[in-house]
Structure 1
């Protein structure tokens, strides 16, 4: 064991994984404990604590994470002031047409006309309730993007667009947003899905327009009572990614959802 102690932490984990699975599990639990410890002692979210722990070496992690947080004090204070310029009842949010700090924030950041970028920012901020940000979500998101002000975020817009394209994050953002909109319930309304498919996929798949029209032509009663599951949400992406309008690739024996089968039959008529 003395030799093992001199190995880098990540290699220590690999060796333990092969030799003793129980020890591996214990170490993973320790990471959770570290997050809880940092979160509770600093009064921050576990997500923020996890970010801090990732910035430091594995040795004496909790203490170093707290020191990392202290280094961010001035930035946190500055971002707190920036948040207060938009805050409505403790949130950047759309409350009603007269109380809409979310749209104002996106406009000031130069993101109002970029649906995908708004989604990316929501993802980076770790927003749990869609078009609204808590103070900690705002602070952590801005720190992760290395922005000290809303003006900094606006300057970053072209770079972020390139980053999304280069890293091909569209699919990941698409899946992430379902979780945000469904609030963990694993289903969303059919009418809601139609709106989101149009806004999120129109720049990805040109054939999505026909699919949207097909869905909108469904009887009103169907649209009202039908729910879209996460599986259907993912299968719509998969269909347009692999099939598009080349229906010769469509195999009826594959486990496509009924809505996709109906759409293909509609297009083949």
Structure 2
């Protein structure tokens, strides 16, 4: 590996001070022993400049594997630069946090930190939709609203972030995308099951959906894809005032029931584990159909 770096440095200093004329100087490894010393060969040469000696020393160290310069460190990011990057990212994402907050404040109730019935009515008017319209239900689902006629600050702002919108025009532009999304069977199932919780009055601890609310929500959630038996099912509920509430399992299973039962109820199997309300409905429908056949029979 040759002489150490400290020896080379001492010899260089001794040469400049004139103290090394009679001192033995180590010959470079590539010089034969019978040649004149390195000092004698170069005693009349001008001393190297500081820049040249530093560059040559560093080059020698690098070639011998004795010195590996560190890579350049990245510049330190200041707080102001980080904030600027955050603003640029917000702009590139297509929405502004400040505009989302301002949009919420436009419809917020003056006494509560949420949008209530009056604010939602104004909100829907600006969106050019009716509050009872299916698109409003889709918007509430995307906002993951906990209850009807109310958007909390968190629900509204998080919903706008999810949709990447910060204006009325932006929300309007998302309606076609929302309608396309629920064409997927699993997405519609998620919407359908969420709708039950959406209809409950959480402030009073309600756990069963009142039948009149259930009828309205069934009509609303099936606005696009209407099962053949939906109208008869809703008529059955409306004509039986003794049915005051719809349990969650009945609501959830109606989706499978409406898909599998067919339009004439002929495939209904009462031995399966259907809710008892479905048994009552099928029995009622069969009696009604049979009664109509008897009334129309000319032999009567």
Structure 1 length as normaliser, TM-score? Answer: 0.64
Task: Pick from 165, 178, 194 the counterpart of residue 183 of structure 2.
Answer: 165
Q: Deviations over 1:173-212 (max 9, x none)?
A: 1101212222374311122212212222243213211111
Unpaired runs of 5+ residues, structure 2, are 1-84, 288-300
- Residues 260 and 71 from structure 1, CA distance in 2 versus in 1: closer, same or farther, beyond 3 angstroms? same
Give the CA deviation at 1:129. Answer: 2.3
Q: Deviations over 1:41-78 (max 9, x none)?
A: xxxxxxxxxxxxxxxxxxxxxxxxxx979954982211
For 1:77, the equivalent position in structure 2 comes to 98
For residue 190 of structure 1, the aligned residue among 205, 208, 211 is 211
| Aligned counterparts, 1:1-269, within 5 A | 72=90, 75-88=96-109, 89-94=112-117, 100-112=118-130, 115-166=133-184, 169-182=187-200, 183=202, 185-204=206-225, 205-219=227-241, 222-223=242-243, 226-269=244-287
Offset of 1:114 from its aligned partner? 7.1
Contact 1:174 1:200 in 2 (8 A): yes
Asked if structure 2 preserves the Cα contact closer than 8 Å seen for 1:125 and 1:142, the reply is yes
Deviation at 1:234, TM superposition (A): 1.0
Max Rg structure: 2
SS state of the match for residue 148, structure 2? coil
TM-score scaled to structure 2, two decimals? 0.58
Q: Residues 148 and 198 of structure 2 are in contact (CA less than 8 Å); yes or no, is this contact kept in structure 1? A: yes
Larger helix fraction of residues: 1
> RMSD value over aligned CA atoms?
2.6
Q: Output the CA distance in 2 between the equivalents of 1:191 and 1:114.
A: 15
The answer to whether the Cα contact below 8 Å between 1:102 and 1:132 also exists between their aligned partners in 2 is yes
